[in-house]
Amino acid sequence: MGSNSKANGSYAINIGVKSEVNGRASQGFGDSIYVNTNQSLALGTGAQTLKDENVPATTEQYSLIAVGSDAKAIGSGSIAFGAYSTVQGFGNKNILKLDEKEKRMQGGIEVTHSTGVHKTLTKDVSGNVTVTVTSDNLEPNDEESVAKREGETYGAMALGYAASSHALAATAIGHYATAVGRVSIAAGTSSKALGYHAIAYGGFSKVSGENAGAFGYSAEASGDQSLSLGYNSDATAKNSVALGAESVANEENTVSVGSDTLKRKITNVADGTQENDAVNVRQLNTLKAETQKITPRIEKIEQRNDVMTQEYRTGIEQLAKRSDTIVKEHRSRIEHIEKRNQQMTKEYRSGIASAIAIGGLQSASIPGKQGVSVGVGNFKGANSLAVGYSRLSSDGSVSLKINAALSSSGYSGGGASVGFMW
C-alpha cells in the first residue's frame, strides 16, 4: 500500500512509499523500506531486513526485526532497534517458537517440544515449583559449536541510533555503540567493546583487551583480563585493575587506585594475617612501638659493645707493645748469642789450630844440647804459628821446653814444661 510499494509473499504487508516486502508473513511500515526475509518486520524510513550472505542459500532466514530510520537487521533472528543501527547475525535459537505438546500431570505439567526437549514443571505442597529439562537430541551450545553451526554473528543485537553489533552474541546499546568481540557488550553513547568477552559500560568507554571490562564515562581497558572502574580510568597492562576516576594501571598483575599525579588512600583495611595480605597503619604503628621499646636496649648493648671494643683494642695494643719489647729483647739476646757463638767458634778454631802448631814443635834430643823450633797449624780456616825452645841436661835426665802460639784471628797462647828422667 503506497506509491511504488511492493508486497511479495503469502500474508505479506507493505505500507509505505517506494518500499518493498519480499517474504512470507513479513511486514513493512515506512517509506523506502526493504524486507527480504520471511516472518520479518521493518518499521521506519529506510529500515531493512536482509539475508546473511555467509549463510548457505538453501538455509531459510527468518524472524528479523529492524526498527528505526535506516536500521538494518541481517540474518535470522537479528533485532536492530534505533536509527542507523545495524545488527548482523542469527537470533537466539532457543527463543524460537517450537511445535510443542503439553500434558498435564498430577502436581505438574510436562511440555515436549518437537526438537526432543522435555520440560517438566512440578509444584509441591508448599507451592515451590521445580523445572526439569531433558533432551533426546540437544545440540551443543558452546561458543565454537554455535558459531560453526549458526554463523559468526549469531545472536548479535544493537539498540540505539547508529548502534552496531558484529559478532557472536554481541550486544550494543546506545547511540553509536559498537560491539565487535564475541559475547561482548557495549552500553552507552559511543561505547566500544572490541575484545573477546569485552564489556564497555558508560559513555565513550572502550575495551580492546580480551575478557576485560571498563565501567564509567571514558573508561578504557586495553590489557587482557584487565578492569577499569571510574571516570577516565585506564587499565593498559595484563591482569591489571584501575580503581577510581582517572586511575591508571600500567603494570601487569597490579591494582592501582591513582596515577603518577593522583594519589589516594585505601581506608578501612583489616589487619593482614597471611603472608600475602596487606598490612594497615595500625599494624605498622604497633611494630613501630615495639621497635621503640627495643631501641634503648639495643643502644645500651651498642654502648657496652663500644666500651668492650675499646678495652679489647687497648689490651691488644698493650699486648702488641709488650710483644714488640719481648721480641726486641729476644732478638738482642739472640744476636748476642750469635755473636758470642761466632766468637767462640773463632776461639776454639784458633785454639785447635795453635794446639796443632805447638804439637808439631821439635824438642832437643841430645844431652847438653838446646834448640828452637817453629810449627804451623790449621783447623777449619783458622791458622796458627807456634815457636818453641827446648834444652836437655848434659846427663839427659832433665829437659826443659817453652813454646808460644799466635792464631790468624789474633788469639795467642803459650806453655812451658820441665821433665825428669832416671
Task: Tell me what pLDDT residue 141 has.
Answer: 56
The answer to whether residue 218 scores a pLDDT higher than 80 is: yes
The answer to whether residue 79 scores a pLDDT higher than 70 is: yes
Which one has a higher pLDDT value, 174 or 130? Answer: 174
Query: pLDDT per residue over 186-206, tens digit each?
Result: 999 999 999 999 999 999 999
Query: What is the distance between the alpha carbons of residues 31 and 35, in angstroms, rounded to a whole number?
Result: 12
Query: What average pLDDT score do residues 296-310 get?
Result: 87
For the chain, list the domains and their CATH numbers.
6-95+142-256 (2.150.10.10), 100-135 (no CATH)
The overall average pLDDT reported for the chain is 83
Q: Which residue reads 513479513 in cell numbers?
A: 26
Nearest to 26 by CA among 63, 77, 70, 74: 63
Query: What average pLDDT score do residues 6-31 get?
Result: 87
The answer to whether residue 110 scores a pLDDT higher than 70 is: no
The answer to whether residue 396 scores a pLDDT higher than 50 is: yes
The answer to whether residue 166 scores a pLDDT higher than 60 is: yes
Sign of CA dihedral 251, 253, 259, 263: negative
Sign of CA dihedral 295, 296, 298, 302: positive
Task: Tell me what pLDDT residue 154 has.
Answer: 66
The answer to whether residue 325 scores a pLDDT higher than 70 is: yes
Binned at pLDDT 50, 70 and 90, residue 117 comes out as: very low
- What length is written for the chain? 422
Query: pLDDT per residue over 252-290, tens digit each?
Result: 999 999 999 999 999 999 999 998 889 999 989 998 888
The answer to whether residue 107 scores a pLDDT higher than 50 is: no
Query: What average pLDDT score do residues 41-65 get?
Result: 86
Nearest to 398 by CA among 414, 372, 418: 418
Binned at pLDDT 50, 70 and 90, residue 232 comes out as: very high
The answer to whether residue 142 scores a pLDDT higher than 80 is: no
Backbone phi and psi for residue 354, each to the nearest 5 degrees, phi listed first: -65, -40
